Structure formats: C-alpha cells, structure tokens
Amino acid sequence: MTFIEFKKLLLDAEISLPKFSKLIKVSDKNLQSYKKKDEVPNAIAVVARCFAEMNKLGMDYRTLIEGLELKAKVKKGSGFAKKNKAKEVVSAPLKQD
C-alpha cells in the first residue's frame, strides 16, 4: 500500500496520523518515515483498513483498541541510555586522627 492510500484510509477512519500513532503506540516519526519509502508495511495497512471499515459501520474502534492497553516499545541496548540518569555519588570515608 502506498503512503497516499494509507492517508486516505486514515481520513475514512476519521483519525489523524498523530492520533493514529498514539492509539496503536507506534512513533509518529516511524509512521512518517513510510512517506519517504512510499510504502506502508502490511500490518499498518491492515490496521488502517480495519479502522476505516469499522468507522464506516459506526463501530467505536478507538475504545476497542484502548481496551487492549497496548504498550509502546522501548529501545534497548547500548547507545539508548537515558540522558538524565541520576549519577551515584560515592564519598570516601573521612580520616580520623
């Protein structure tokens, strides 16, 4: 599916790209990258099509998806450490005379 076809399905589903990304817990930046490739992965295309069809039938797909309590993926591995990590301060014992 092309990115343009994907965007049309989002219009049919009456949802914006940022709201779609929040709902399915996928980064907006990640979804925007498909625009450059002009191809949307099959799984994302299926979700968009289902949302559009459900909306056409008057189904509240947003509530159904929120009920899944999806979790956003967290990057792991080297180079993805939190920048504001609290640093432990180790103090040397005081000398007593």
Given a cut of 80, whether residue 94 has pLDDT beyond it is no
Q: How many whole angstroms separate alpha carbon 20 and alpha carbon 4?
A: 15
Kindly list the distances between the CA atom of residue 87 and the CA atoms of 3, 84, 95, in Å, as whole numbers in the listed order. Answer: 44, 9, 25
Given a cut of 80, whether residue 92 has pLDDT beyond it is no
Q: State which H helix or E strand residue 12 sits in.
A: helix 3-12
- Residue-wise pLDDT tens digits, 37-91: 989 999 999 999 999 999 999 999 999 999 999 999 887 766 666 655 555 555 5
